């Protein structure tokens, strides 16, 4: 029998095994390690993006300053770059374990960017009355979606139901924000969208609970 030894855990491998099924050690991996080619995966992308974005921001600042010896137009592009970098950073550090906190930080960053755009050069009249409410609405939608995914016991019909409810409420919130900005609270198309989506959500919930009840009863009465 053709065989070779795993250099990590010491068991004998079949001749056609490239990777030890016990410890996951690969022959090529050990060769790479010995040549010092193994790169730290974690954080590599974040570091790479940080360098690229940092370089871009620096080039913009230098170009702006080189013209009139003062900073004028660079605030918004640099602010946007910082905003993108913040999104990536929060995702990198909090995305795995503190998802909701990450969404909260993203929300704050978005508001920060809107206020920056409003305050620097181009005064935007709708930042406080429309921009921040819509940013809040989008953030809440994303948090609700993430919460559904995370806490859904039976991903499937129940999750679809959750998403339909979220999507049904989103247009209502959006039209509320827009109509409040226009100075008159009014709901029209959003209500139609909402009413159309809610029955679909209810149908999914009904199908889910019917199936769940059947599974539970089958399990529970194994006596």
Partner 1 sequence: METRTKRIRWYKLDNAAKIYPVITNKRRTSVIRLSAHLKKRVHIGALERALERLTPRFPVFQTALRKGFFWYYLEQVSTKPKVEYDHTPYCRQFTSSHQKDCLLFRVRASERTIAVEFYHVLTDGGGVAEFLKALLWEYYLQLDHNLPSEGILHAHKPIHPDEWKDAYKKTFRQGLPYPLKREKAFHLPYKIKPANFQLVKAEMATTELLKKARSYQVSVTVYLTATYLFALQKLYWSVKKPNSPIIRIQVPMNLRKVFKIRTIRNFALFVQPEIDMRLGKYTFEELIKLVYHFMQLETDTKQIHRIITRNVHPEKQWVLRVAPRFLKDLVLYSKFFAEGANIQSGVITNLGRIDLPEALKEEIDHFSFIAPPPNHKFKVNLAMVSYNEKTLLHFGNISHSKKLERTFIERLQEDGLTIKLLTP
Q: Can residue 219 be called a binding residue for partner 1 (CB under 8 A)? A: yes
Min dist CB 155 to partner 1, Å, is: 14
Choosing from 40, 123, 183, 221, the residue that interacts with partner 1 (CB under 8 A) is: 221
C-alpha 146/C-alpha 114 separation (Å) is: 24
Choosing from 7, 14, 53, 64, the residue that interacts with partner 1 (CB under 8 A) is: 14
Min dist CB 17 to partner 1, Å, is: 6
Please list every residue from 23 through 42 that binds partner 1, using CB under 8 A: 23
Q: Among the candidate windows 46-54, 127-135, 188-196, 215-223, which touches partner 1 by CB under 8 A?
A: 215-223
C-alpha 149/C-alpha 147 separation (Å) is: 5
Among all chains, which residue has been given the structure tokens 């806490």? Answer: 151
Yes or no: say if 180 and 133 are a contact pair by the CB < 8 Å rule: yes
Min dist CB 157 to partner 1, Å, is: 18
Helix residue spans in the chain (DSSP H): 27-35, 44-68, 75-94, 99-120, 132-151, 157-182, 189-220
Q: Can residue 22 be called a binding residue for partner 1 (CB under 8 A)? A: yes
Question: Which one-letter DSSP state was computed for residue 20?
Answer: -
Among all chains, which residue has been given the structure tokens 């970098």? Answer: 85
* Interface residues toward partner 1, by CB under 8 A: 1, 3, 5-6, 9-14, 17, 20-23, 219-223
């Amino acid at each position: 029998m053709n065989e070779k030894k795993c250099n990590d855990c010491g068991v004998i491998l079949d001749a056609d095994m490239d990777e030890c099924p016990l410890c996951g050690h690969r022959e090529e991996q050990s060769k790479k390690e010995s040549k010092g080619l193994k790169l730290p995966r974690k954080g590599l992308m974040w570091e790479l993006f940080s360098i690229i974005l940092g370089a871009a921001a620096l080039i913009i600042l230098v170009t702006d300053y080189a013209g009139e010896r003062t900073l004028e137009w660079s605030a918004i592009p640099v602010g946007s770059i910082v905003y993108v970098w913040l999104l990536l950073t929060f995702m990198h550090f909090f995305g795995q374990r503190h998802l909701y906190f990450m969404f909260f930080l993203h929300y704050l960053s978005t508001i920060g960017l809107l206020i920056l755009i409003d305050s620097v050069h181009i005064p935007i009249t709708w930042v406080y009355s429309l921009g921040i409410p819509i940013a809040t609405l989008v953030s809440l939608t994303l948090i609700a979606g993430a919460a559904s995914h995370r806490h859904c016991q039976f991903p499937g019909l129940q999750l679809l139901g959750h998403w339909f409810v979220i999507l049904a409420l989103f247009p209502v919130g959006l039209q509320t924000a827009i109509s409040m900005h226009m100075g008159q609270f009014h709901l029209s198309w959003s209500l139609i969208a909402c009413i159309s989506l809610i029955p679909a959500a209810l149908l999914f919930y009904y199908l889910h609970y019917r199936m769940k009840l059947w599974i539970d009863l089958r399990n529970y009465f194994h006596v």
